[in-house]
């Protein structure tokens, strides 16, 4: 391709116009990068805040212990009922978790520790909880209503007295007669003043006394009263119990607390209470057995004593001591039947007691059948399972309402077990009664044989038979009682503590590394979120790329901010970057209107203040410096500004020519710049819109265009007045001025409307007053013109401002 000849005009420049409205990731990243100093500063502040939190937060420790849960041995025949739903496993992980997290267990542990008085002392940032080693002892009468929740301050005056005051008045009243419902205390009846150590401080809602252990004069001491139900609920909620894994039957107990020794003591006490409860349940069975046997022995003892006396008396009176051989044989057979009958009657009595329990829902504890010699495995399994189900119901009822699914489920299991047990008992009673009838029939047959013996021997046999029957029963019951007592003595919890409570080596809160990471993230996210929110709600034009995306006409120039206080930097600061931008605009005008010796350029904007007059004045100055004969016309008849820029008097101008028959040549004023004349707007007329629509103005424009090479028209804002739309037809190039961070984005629609529906040709955009440098687009006021050292006058800026300058 051949190069154009020197005389051939250059082709007009191609202005790229980007109408892509899609999200630009790269540009968005640079948008945030230009604020990197603020982001780094916020991240440093986040790290400092994290350090302060780690340094002054009260550390929280995790205390952990483990318990081994052993499965109890199943009795014979129990597996037959488990599939029917009558029985449940005698021990399982979920039940043990429920027991450990129960309110009743927590309440017993709290009561055993005596931690209702919580003591504090002054710390760096507030009160610090103390546990153990207090120099003052607070003794509380919990049978009396007490103020709980608030904070009381004690200052020792000397060895015998102290000052008492209220530090926090958030008190509630704990009533021992209604321990689960506290009422707010509106008036604190505790009087502040001086009290003696050991003296009861008593009122309608408080009763306590303070004893001096090792306090010295001036030592302060804070304490807070907490009732046992509230503490039990608190620890119950804070305790975490879970298996160490899905396959194991080892439970891990975890408690997070700011006082690790208190946490260790509580978990240890809780496990002690847990094992004690299990042992008491086992001992209860042995106690019930002993009680049942002793009730039977009380009746047998009297009968045995009575028949022993009668036997001794009969032998003495009749001098008969031994039976004949025939009598001994009959006696041995009779004794076997009577012993069998007595044992069977004891079994029948147990069945009847159990039946009465089932029919009347007796509150007495059950006795296992095997204890009284009943070897029925199914009956034993049913009775043992019923006892466990009832214990489970008591525990669940203490923690859940009657409508809770777990409570309703346990009730259904109890009902099913009782139904199966009732049927089994009824059958056993019928079978036992039949067996007793058979034994009685055999005894009657032996009685007939006894009648053949001599009368003396016959009577001796009768008395001795009754004596031996009671003696055998007595010995049998004594053996069973001894077995029950041995069983009780050998009882031990099936579960065991693997590890007693121990706190970790490091606190779990505050989490130092997590806090530092969170501080960094927040320090990064907060300024990013602020920038995003600011951009989201920003309605002002911020850069050329944004204007190009919104505009449907090319943007031909970007003008920087004149930071020198001059309204005409082209003349006053010829080596400044902003002057170079007007030279660039002057060069572009040649290509926008090629092959024209004469050129008319119109400047307008949407509203006042966007810098159209500034651009018009400096563009005119740029053409004049090139040697072009230039006329600057002030056509803003409502708000004229050009006169002040050139220090001229606005007493005559275009309004004078149009309102009076005065030639325009007489009102044109020369300036100190060669080749630059100014036609001011003149005095403000009463009808500025109509005066520019006269035919005379058309004639004036034709004459001006013939005399001047370049005519610059400074017109009113097109968004505010109507006459500017009539002036577009006189211009070869129409420049619509926008101002960075001043012009609103929706104002671009007016430019687009003029281009599409207004029929305005040669319409271009210009962004004025660029002072926020945009590194994300690779351009900027300082980049374009300030990056080539020695070509332009550098703008002085302190180092600290350069760091935080918006780039």
Kindly report the average pLDDT of the chain as a whole number: 80
pLDDT, tens digit, 9 for 90 and up, residues 100-121: 888 889 999 999 998 999 898 8
The number of C-alpha atoms within 13 Å of 502 and in the hemisphere containing its C-beta is: 7
Exposed/middle/buried for 661, CB within 10 Å: 0-12, 13-18, 19+?
Answer: exposed
Q: What is the DSSP letter of 20?
A: -
pLDDT at position 14: 42
Alpha-carbon distances, residue 412 vs 86, 146, 229, 405, 710 (angstroms): 9, 42, 30, 11, 104
The stretch 436-449 carries a mean pLDDT of 76
DSSP, collapsed to helix, strand or coil, labels residue 322 as coil
Question: What distance separates the 2 farthest-apart alpha carbons in the chain?
Answer: 178
pLDDT, tens digit, 9 for 90 and up, residues 605-637: 999 889 999 999 999 999 999 999 999 999 988
pLDDT, tens digit, 9 for 90 and up, residues 333-367: 777 777 778 778 878 887 888 788 777 765 455 66
Rounded CA-CA distance 400/390 in Å is: 15
- From the list 592, 574, 591, the residue with the least C-alpha distance to 583 is 574
Query: Which of 53-83 are b and which e, b meaning 16 or more Cβ less than 10 Å from the residue's Cβ?
Result: bbeeeeebbbbbbbbebeeeeebeebeebee
Rounded CA-CA distance 384/379 in Å is: 9
The stretch 407-415 carries a mean pLDDT of 84
Rounded CA-CA distance 225/228 in Å is: 10
pLDDT at position 11: 43
Q: Where are the domains of the chain?
A: 117-226, 301-490, 542-804
H or E segment at 395? helix 377-399
**Confidence at 3, pLDDT banded by 50, 70, 90:** very low
The stretch 199-213 carries a mean pLDDT of 91
pLDDT at position 621: 94
Rounded CA-CA distance 384/25 in Å is: 73
pLDDT, tens digit, 9 for 90 and up, residues 110-161: 999 989 998 988 877 778 888 887 888 999 999 999 999 889 999 999 889 9
Is the predicted pLDDT of residue 193 greater than 80, yes or no? yes
pLDDT at position 74: 47
pLDDT, tens digit, 9 for 90 and up, residues 702-752: 999 999 999 999 998 987 777 778 889 899 999 999 999 899 999 999 999
How many other CB atoms are there within 10 angstroms of residue 605's CB atom? 30
What percentage of the chain has pLDDT greater than the value 90? 26
Is the predicted pLDDT of residue 318 greater than 50, yes or no? yes
* Bond into 85 cis (ω within 30): no
Report the interhelical angle of 25-33 vs 36-56 (nearest 10°). Answer: 70
The stretch 503-526 carries a mean pLDDT of 89
Rounded CA-CA distance 524/101 in Å is: 42
pLDDT, tens digit, 9 for 90 and up, residues 460-501: 666 666 777 777 777 777 877 787 777 777 777 778 888 898
pLDDT, tens digit, 9 for 90 and up, residues 16-54: 444 444 556 776 777 778 788 888 999 999 999 998 888
The stretch 429-443 carries a mean pLDDT of 83
pLDDT at position 133: 78
pLDDT, tens digit, 9 for 90 and up, residues 691-714: 888 889 999 999 999 999 999 999
Is the predicted pLDDT of residue 326 greater than 60, yes or no? no
- Residue written as tokens 């007490």? 146
pLDDT, tens digit, 9 for 90 and up, residues 259-293: 889 999 999 999 999 888 888 777 777 777 777 77
pLDDT at position 82: 45
Q: For the domain 542-804, what is the CATH code?
A: 3.40.50.300
């Amino acid at each position: 391709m051949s190069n154009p000849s020197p005389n051939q005009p250059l082709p007009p420049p191609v202005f790229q116009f980007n109408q892509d409205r899609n999200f630009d990731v790269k540009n968005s990243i640079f948008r945030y990068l230009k604020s990197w100093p603020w982001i780094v500063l916020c991240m440093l502040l986040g790290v400092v805040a994290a350090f302060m939190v780690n340094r002054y937060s009260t550390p929280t420790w995790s205390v952990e212990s483990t318990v081994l849960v052993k499965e109890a041995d199943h009795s014979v025949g129990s597996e037959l009922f488990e599939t029917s739903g009558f029985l449940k496993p005698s021990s399982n992980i979920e039940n043990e978790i429920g027991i450990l997290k129960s309110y009743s267990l927590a309440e017993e542990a709290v009561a055993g520790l005596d931690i209702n008085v919580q003591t504090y002392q002054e710390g760096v940032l507030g009160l610090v909880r103390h546990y153990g080693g207090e120099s003052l002892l607070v003794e509380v009468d919990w049978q009396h209503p007490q103020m709980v929740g608030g904070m009381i301050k004690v200052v020792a005056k000397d060895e015998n007295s102290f000052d008492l005051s209220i530090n926090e008045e958030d008190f509630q009243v704990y009533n021992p007669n209604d321990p689960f419902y506290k009422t707010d205390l509106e008036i604190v009846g505790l009087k502040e003043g001086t009290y003696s150590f050991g003296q009861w401080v008593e009122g309608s809602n408080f009763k306590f006394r303070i004893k001096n252990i090792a306090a010295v004069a001036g030592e302060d001491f804070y304490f807070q009263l907490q009732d046992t139900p509230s503490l039990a609920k608190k620890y119950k909620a804070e305790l975490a119990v879970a298996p160490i894994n899905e396959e194991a039957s080892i439970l891990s107990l975890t408690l997070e607390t700011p006082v690790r020794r208190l946490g260790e003591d509580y978990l240890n006490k809780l496990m002690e209470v847990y094992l004690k409860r299990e042992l008491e349940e086992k001992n209860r069975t042995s106690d019930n057995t002993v009680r049942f046997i002793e009730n039977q022995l009380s009746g047998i003892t009297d009968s045995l004593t009575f028949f022993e006396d009668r036997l001794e008396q009969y032998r003495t009176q009749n001098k008969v001591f031994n039976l004949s051989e025939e009598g001994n044989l009959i006696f041995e057979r009779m004794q076997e039947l009577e012993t069998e009958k007595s044992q069977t009657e004891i079994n029948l009595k147990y069945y009847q007691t159990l039946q009465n329990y089932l029919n009347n829902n007796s509150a007495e504890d059950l006795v296992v059948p095997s204890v009284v010699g009943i070897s029925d495995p199914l009956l034993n399994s049913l009775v043992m399972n019923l006892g466990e189900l009832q214990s489970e119901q008591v525990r669940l009822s203490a923690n859940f309402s009657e409508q809770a699914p777990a409570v309703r489920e346990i009730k259904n299991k109890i009902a099913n077990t009782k139904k199966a047990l009732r049927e089994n008992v009824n059958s056993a009673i019928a079978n036992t009664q039949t067996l007793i009838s058979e034994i009685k029939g055999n005894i009657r047959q032996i009685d007939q044989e006894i009648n053949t013996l001599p009368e003396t021997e016959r009577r001796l046999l009768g008395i001795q038979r009754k004596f031996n029957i009671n003696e055998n029963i007595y010995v049998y019951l004594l053996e069973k009682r001894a077995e029950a007592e041995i069983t009780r003595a050998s009882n031990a919890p099936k579960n065991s503590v693997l590890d007693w409570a121990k706190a970790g080596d490091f606190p779990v809160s505050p989490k130092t590394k997590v806090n530092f990471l969170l501080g960094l993230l927040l320090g990064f996210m907060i300024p990013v979120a602020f920038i995003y929110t600011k951009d989201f709600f920003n309605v002002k034009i911020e850069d050329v790329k944004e204007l190009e995306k919104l505009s449907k006409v090319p943007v031909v120039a970007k003008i920087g901010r004149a930071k020198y206080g001059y309204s005409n930097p082209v003349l006053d600061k010829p080596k400044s970057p902003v002057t170079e931008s007007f030279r660039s605009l002057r060069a572009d005008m040649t290509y926008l209107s090629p092959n024209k010796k004469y050129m008319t350029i119109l400047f307008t904007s949407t509203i006042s203040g966007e810098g159209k007059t500034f651009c018009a004045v400096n563009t005119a100055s740029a053409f004049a410096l090139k040697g072009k004969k230039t006329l600057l016309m002030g056509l803003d008849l409502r708000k004229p500004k050009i006169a002040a820029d050139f220090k001229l008097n606005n007493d005559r101008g275009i309004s004078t020519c149009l309102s009076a028959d005065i030639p325009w040549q007489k009102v044109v004023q020369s300036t100190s710049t060669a080749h630059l004349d100014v036609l001011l707007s003149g005095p403000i007329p009463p009808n500025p819109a109509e005066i520019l629509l006269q035919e005379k103005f058309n004639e004036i424009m034709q004459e001006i265009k013939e005399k001047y090479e370049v005519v610059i028209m400074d017109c009113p804002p097109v968004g505010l007045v109507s006459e500017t739309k009539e002036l577009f037809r006189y211009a070869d190039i129409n420049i619509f001025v926008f101002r960075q961070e001043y012009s609103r984005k929706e104002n671009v629609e007016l430019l687009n409307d003029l281009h599409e529906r207004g029929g305005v040709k040669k319409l271009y955009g210009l962004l004025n007053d660029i002072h926020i440098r945009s590194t994300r687009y690779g351009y900027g006021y300082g980049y374009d013109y300030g990056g080539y050292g020695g070509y332009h006058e550098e703008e002085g800026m302190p180092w600290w401002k350069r760091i935080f300058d918006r780039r």
